[in-house]
């Protein structure tokens, strides 16, 4: 099955081989050296001089750890919500923040629309005491990119003490993201997206302001023991290891995936992903499909089904063509198809995906030549093989 879902994404052969390495004990110098190498490589992908915590878990694990570790009882936080995952980050505080008198201010936009900078500016003006702002870079559920660089700048100008926390789960390693240069304090991602590994590692990168906040923190933490980044920071500085048993095999896989990214070049990875996304968007719209997002991300594309077509098309692509796409979530369930451009996805993979969609559109009765035009267009755009992942 060809995975064109926005997580998990395809795992290259080189990474699979690394995952099969013999297990080692995590409290040895042998593994500590691998752990440090992995952390250094991750910092380069995040574009930060700070440490990157590797938590055993998912992207949700990483973001939840960040959300809870940097607040204390009585703090105020602003959460930007324009899709399923923004709502999830609100739920984190609904579950835990209520126990600690955390004030939660929600900024909302409909699915498919980006958070407007004016919305955040207004919220910060009304709540200058804000201690953290949580936002998604790519809202995976709607394939929508938020301008986190501008949102971070606004936060710095209006609430200089507020920590900027970014969900970069489906963006970091796929599209331009410069954590330190953009003034982002905390950035989160996961192993199963652009980093070309199986699920199992949640990543939290911390800039200088975030590290200082943790070191200064006293008293009760909102985070449970396993998610408290204070413990991770102390253990990392003391022994260069994780406070809990890490996902040892996945760390070996991440080291290999990071080596592949470095060999290709991070900016080249960004450009390749953008090329696949642009070709896919143009081919799909040529077929008569409508982009679902007003601010489309290059890491994942979402298109609406035309009249008379439903999620049976996506199921037929999996059944008849062995190509798996993601469907819609929440209010978009059954109404959209999502195709990933992240990680090890190649030009050939993308063409195969577009071909499957085109064939199934024709079977649905859309036979006015548009599906064929889309197939021709993507071949023309990717005919030189641009978009091939290095080492796949």
CATH number, domain at 322?
3.90.1150.10
Same structural domain, 65 and 178: yes
Question: Which residues constitute the domain of residue 228?
Answer: 13-262
Same structural domain, 156 and 229: yes
Same structural domain, 258 and 116: yes
pLDDT value for 384:
62
pLDDT-derived band at 391, boundaries 50, 70, 90: very low
The residues, any chain, with a CB within 8 Å of residue 168's CB and separated by 6 or more, are: 46, 137, 138, 177, 187, 188, 189
Q: What are the strands, taking DSSP E only, across 12-59?
A: 52-57
pLDDT value for 244:
87
Lowest mean pLDDT among 53-67, 166-180, 208-222, 283-297: 208-222
| Cα–Cα distance measured from residue 87 to residue 134, given in angstroms and rounded to the nearest whole number | 11
Of all helices (H) and strands (E), which one includes residue 291?
strand 290-291
pLDDT value for 239:
57
| Collapsed DSSP state (helix, strand, coil) of residue 366 | coil
Phi, psi torsion values for 278, nearest 5 degrees: -65, -45
Same structural domain, 342 and 229: no
Whether 120 and 274 have beta carbons less than 8 Å apart is answered as no
Is 271 a domain residue? yes
pLDDT-derived band at 241, boundaries 50, 70, 90: confident
Is 350 a domain residue? yes
pLDDT-derived band at 234, boundaries 50, 70, 90: confident
| Cα–Cα distance measured from residue 359 to residue 100, given in angstroms and rounded to the nearest whole number | 54
Of 239, 262, 285, the one marking the end of a domain is 262
| Collapsed DSSP state (helix, strand, coil) of residue 186 | strand
Mean pLDDT of all residues in the chain?
93
CB atoms within 10 A of CB 155: 26
Is 389 a domain residue? no
pLDDT value for 365:
75
Same structural domain, 202 and 126: yes
Same structural domain, 355 and 218: no
Burial class (CB in 10 A: 0-12, 13-18, 19+), 305: buried
Of 262, 285, 311, the one marking the end of a domain is 262
pLDDT at 217 over 90: no
CATH code of the domain containing 76: 3.40.640.10
The residues, any chain, with a CB within 8 Å of residue 76's CB and separated by 6 or more, are: 102, 103, 104, 105, 127, 129, 130, 131
pLDDT value for 237:
58
Residue of 283, 289, 285 lying closest to 364 (CA atoms): 289
Q: What is the mean pLDDT of residues 261-276?
A: 98
Q: What percent of the chain has pLDDT over 70?
A: 95
Same structural domain, 135 and 38: yes
| Collapsed DSSP state (helix, strand, coil) of residue 391 | coil
pLDDT at 50 over 60: yes
pLDDT digits (tens, 9 = 90+) for 333-373: 999 999 999 999 999 999 999 999 999 998 887 655 588 88
CA angle 279, 338, 391 (to 5 degrees): 60
Is 8 a domain residue? no
Whether 26 and 242 have beta carbons less than 8 Å apart is answered as yes
Q: What is the mean pLDDT of residues 247-265?
A: 98
Same structural domain, 68 and 127: yes
Q: What is the mean pLDDT of residues 92-107?
A: 91
Same structural domain, 219 and 333: no
| Cα–Cα distance measured from residue 80 to residue 89, given in angstroms and rounded to the nearest whole number | 9
Same structural domain, 276 and 370: yes
Is 6 a domain residue? no
This prediction's pTM = 0.95
pLDDT at 277 over 70: yes
pLDDT-derived band at 251, boundaries 50, 70, 90: very high
Is 153 a domain residue? yes
Count of domains observed in the chain = 2
Residue of 210, 96, 118, 202 lying closest to 164 (CA atoms): 210
| Cα–Cα distance measured from residue 290 to residue 274, given in angstroms and rounded to the nearest whole number | 19
Fill in the DSSP letter of residue 198: -
Is 390 a domain residue? no
Same structural domain, 360 and 285: yes
Lowest mean pLDDT among 134-143, 181-190, 223-232: 223-232
pLDDT digits (tens, 9 = 90+) for 178-206: 999 999 999 999 999 999 999 999 999 99
Phi, psi torsion values for 34, nearest 5 degrees: -65, -40
Is 164 a domain residue? yes
DSSP 16-66: HHHHTSPP--TTSHHHHHHHHHHHHHHHHHHT-SS-EEEEEE-HHHHHHHH
Of 245, 262, 279, the one marking the end of a domain is 262
Q: What percent of the chain has pLDDT over 90?
A: 85
Same structural domain, 227 and 97: yes
Strands 76-81 and 103-108: parallel
Residues linked to residue 323 through DSSP beta bridges, in sequence order = 2
């Amino acid at each position: 099955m060809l995975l064109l879902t926005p997580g998990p994404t395809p795992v290259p052969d080189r990474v699979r081989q690394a995952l099969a390495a013999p297990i080692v004990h995590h409290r040895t110098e042998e593994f500590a050296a691998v752990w440090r190498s992995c952390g250094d490589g991750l910092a380069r992908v995040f574009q930060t001089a700070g440490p990157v915590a590797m938590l055993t878990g998912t992207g949700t694990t990483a973001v939840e750890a960040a959300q809870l570790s940097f607040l204390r009882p009585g703090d105020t936080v602003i959460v930007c919500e324009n899709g399923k995952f923004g709502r999830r980050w609100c739920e984190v505080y609904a579950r835990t923040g209520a126990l600690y008198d955390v004030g939660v201010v929600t900024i909302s936009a409909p699915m498919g629309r980006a958070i407007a900078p004016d919305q955040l500016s207004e919220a910060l003006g009304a709540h200058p005491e804000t201690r953290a702002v949580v936002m998604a870079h790519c809202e995976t559920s709607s394939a929508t990119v938020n301008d986190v660089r501008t949102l971070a700048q606004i936060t710095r100008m209006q609430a200089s003490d507020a920590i900027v926390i970014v969900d970069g789960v489906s963006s970091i390693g796929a599209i331009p993201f410069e954590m330190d240069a953009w003034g982002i304090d905390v950035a989160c991602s996961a192993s199963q997206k652009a980093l070309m590994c199986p699920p199992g590692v949640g990543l939290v990168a911390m800039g200088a302001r975030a590290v200082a906040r943790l070191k200064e923190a006293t008293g009760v933490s909102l985070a449970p023991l396993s998610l408290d980044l204070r413990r991770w920071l102390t253990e990392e500085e003391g022994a260069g290891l994780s406070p809990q048993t890490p996902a040892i095999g996945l760390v070996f896989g991440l080291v290999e995936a990071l080596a592949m990214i470095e060999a290709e070049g991070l900016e080249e990875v960004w450009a390749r992903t953008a090329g696949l996304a642009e070709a896919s968007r143009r081919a799909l719209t040529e077929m008569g499909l409508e982009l679902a997002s007003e601010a489309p991300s290059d890491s994942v594309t979402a298109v609406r089904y035309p009249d008379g077509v439903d999620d049976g098309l996506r199921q037929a692509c999996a059944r008849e063509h062995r190509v798996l796409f993601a469907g819609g979530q929440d209010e978009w369930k059954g109404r959209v198809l999502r195709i990933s451009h992240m990680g090890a996805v190649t030009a050939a993979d993308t063409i195969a995906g577009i071909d499957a969609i085109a064939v199934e559109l024709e079977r649905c009765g859309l036979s006015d030549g548009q599906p064929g035009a889309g197939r021709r267009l993507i071949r023309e755009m990717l005919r030189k093989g641009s978009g091939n992942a290095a080492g796949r």
